[in-house]
Amino acid sequence: MTNAFSAMLSSHDVILADGATGTNLFKMGLQSGDAPELWNTEEQDKIRALYKGSVDAGSDLFLTNTFGGTAARLKLHDAQGRVRELNRAGAELGREIADKANRKVIVAGSVGPTGEIMQPVGNLSHAAAVEMFHEQAEGLKEGGVDVLWLETISAPEEYRAAAEAFALADMPWCGTMSFDTAGRTMMGVTSADMVQLVESLPNPPLAFGANCGTGASDILRTVLGFAAQGTKRPIISKGNAGIPKYVDGHIHYDGTPELMAVYATMARDAGAKIIGGCCGTMPEHLVKMRAALDSTPRGERPTLDQIVEALGAFTSASDGTGDDGGERRARGGRRRRA
């Protein structure tokens, strides 16, 4: 049987994904430090509204509200025993909204990092990581997702563990990593490294790419890095809506809908097949992105200078496309997909 997502990859020239989860839920009343996944059972109408906002804006695909759905993440909220329940509920709500749409819409089961550091640097073993990802995957599968969607990963070891877990769940999947200001993930992975990682897996993802990280300019530079490796696998670009800034005590993303529309067409021309937004990306951004993708003819692959001119400066001189010795920022952890 052909997977619905595979069919969409074949039938669509470009796929518009969704935007932010956290940013939208905060506007609905989620408080900092709360677990969004608990809303899958406690605030179901708000989660329906989250999903519907993307669909109504023109998205072909949206992610479930399950980013922090592993036992490791849910343990922070004393909900580690509810992994299957919360992931299944988030997926079921997504299935409900997608099936009501007047066109085919893909429900992608969001799987974020465990938040723990894997061996040998940290304490999380490969087997334990596989077990956690498998448990989450089974809940999403029960809820009816079309594809699993690994995102915001920094360590290759964690990417491999998730791939193994998804094979155990017998589910198709996609996977993105988050590249920092020096064009590398927090654990030092470059765009070239990721292409090699993806192609080395026994069950490679249907599509791969980047999400979150920094602004629109930087993620396009990473997409160019993927494309430069000659990969034939569909590339994902889910960039933040500009650069995060503190305004009146709150994080605000400065990317306008108009800027994200330009980003969307440039991401397509740079080589991305699946294009969406991450932190700060609201339905109003997606509306402009949809319109731009539908109305703007394909262009030549953009140069770095053209990206800077259209979207603003890069946040570092390093492009992360190889072993360039660029700066590596150390972080204690990766932020939630907001």
Segment 328-336 long-range contacts (CB within 8 Å, at least 24 positions apart)? 328/180, 328/182, 328/184, 328/188, 329/180, 329/181, 329/182, 329/186, 330/186, 331/180, 331/186, 333/115, 334/113, 334/152, 334/154, 334/178, 334/186, 334/212, 335/212, 335/279, 336/22, 336/67, 336/68, 336/112
Which residues participate in the annotated binding site for Zn(2+)?
A: 212, 278-279
Q: Are 230 and 297 in contact (CB under 8 A)?
A: no
Q: Whole-angstrom Cα distance, residue 243 to residue 221? A: 15
**142: its two tokens:** 């029960």
Q: Are 54 and 283 in contact (CB under 8 A)?
A: yes
Residue 111's SS3 state is strand
**Residue 84: exposed, middle, or buried by beta-carbon count in 10 A (0-12, 13-18, 19+)?**
middle
Which residues participate in the annotated binding site?
A: 212, 278-279
